[in-house]
Amino acid sequence: MQFFNNMKKINRKILIIIILLIILILLIFCYQKFYPKKQISCTKEAKMCYDNSFVGRIPPDCEFEKCPEEKQGILIIFPKKNEKIKSPLKIEGIAKGFWFFEGVFTAELYDKNNNLLGKTILNAKSDWATEGFVPFEGELFFSLPQTSSGTLKFLSDNPSGILENQKVFEIPILFEEINYTDVFLYYYNPEKDKDENGNVKCSEKGIVPIKRKIPISQTPIKETINLLLRGKENLTEEEIKEGIETDFPLEGLKLKDINLKNSVLTLVFEDPFNKTSGGSCRAEILWLQIEKTSKQFPGVKEVRFLPEDIFQP
């Protein structure tokens, strides 16, 4: 009997403790919900970010708010948001090392209808294997937009292929209202260049034109040849299915200068990796592509290449 009386006393004590705990929890909840909190006031200092915007101090610790580039790990210096652009577009900025792999990552340009207008590789200008910011640059050639605005999208290099590791940053842009003119780029179709036995002849017979538009400028020959050097990027899926092809673009190949005098067009190239050689057939087709593209312009009757050993077998 005494045992049961003791158990009752213990249970009563436990019940009292539970009730007290519930009351304490309710008091704490009411205090946090209804008692006015002390307002934390930070100083009115401001910090200037790379993009010329300003951020202030924020409670509770009154540390400066992170700048946009600190949040994303990338800052685009040019072009700015909603800036009007035209092709070719020079892109400059800084990004933290995790955006790069082997010193590169990618930029893509879309119009408002999400049509891809062009893309390019952005190259680090200093050592990219760092946790800090690394300057980068690139040049993006893009096709004629059908809308007045679009999106410039930056994609980190993601060798793992894991979606969670892919970083994407976007800025809105506007397209300049530009007058365009039609030009022809000359490509190669081996199906149109075969002898009676079906052998490819590597001759001018296989050189075919495709029509493209370029902005009206003071240097149409230079703009057109630079567009030709982009090679496969200019071809549509339908043209590829027709058998039209090219070995352009060639790594490192650049048109440095042009000079038209007495109907002779001299083209000065830079070919640091000797990509313009590699067999008589290949070199001949590359030569013919540039020559035919150049001769569409009035006043060009002959085309010369410098250095003289470029586009040679």
Ordered domains of the chain (ranges, CATH)? 69-175 (2.60.40.10), 180-306 (no CATH)
Residue 4: per-residue pLDDT: 47
* 189, 223, 281 from 277: Cα distances, Å: 20, 24, 10
Residue 9: per-residue pLDDT: 59
Length of the chain: 313
* 91, 124, 294 from 230: Cα distances, Å: 17, 21, 15
Q: What does the alpha-carbon distance between residue 196 and residue 191 come to, in Å, rounded to a whole number?
A: 12
Q: What is Dmax (Cα atoms) for the chain?
A: 127
Report which secondary-structure segment, H or E, holds 54: strand 54-58
Residue 271: per-residue pLDDT: 96
Report which secondary-structure segment, H or E, holds 265: strand 264-270
Q: How far out from the chain centre does Cα 313 lie?
A: 35
Residue 209: per-residue pLDDT: 97
Q: What does the alpha-carbon distance between residue 57 and residue 43 come to, in Å, rounded to a whole number?
A: 7
Q: What does the alpha-carbon distance between residue 224 and residue 216 come to, in Å, rounded to a whole number?
A: 11
Percent of the chain with pLDDT over 70: 92
Long-range contacts of 214-217 (CB under 8 A, 24+ apart): 214/180, 214/181, 214/183, 215/86, 215/87, 215/178, 215/179, 215/180, 215/181, 216/178, 216/179, 216/180, 216/181
Q: Name the CA dihedral angle for 77, 145, 232, 205, rounded to a multiple of 10 degrees.
A: -140
Look at residues 220, 129, 143 and name the one whose alpha carbon lies nearest to residue 175: 143
Helix axis angle for 220-229 and 280-294, nearest 10°, is 150
Task: With a cut of 50, list the residues of the chain below it in pLDDT.
Answer: 3-4
Residue 33: per-residue pLDDT: 63
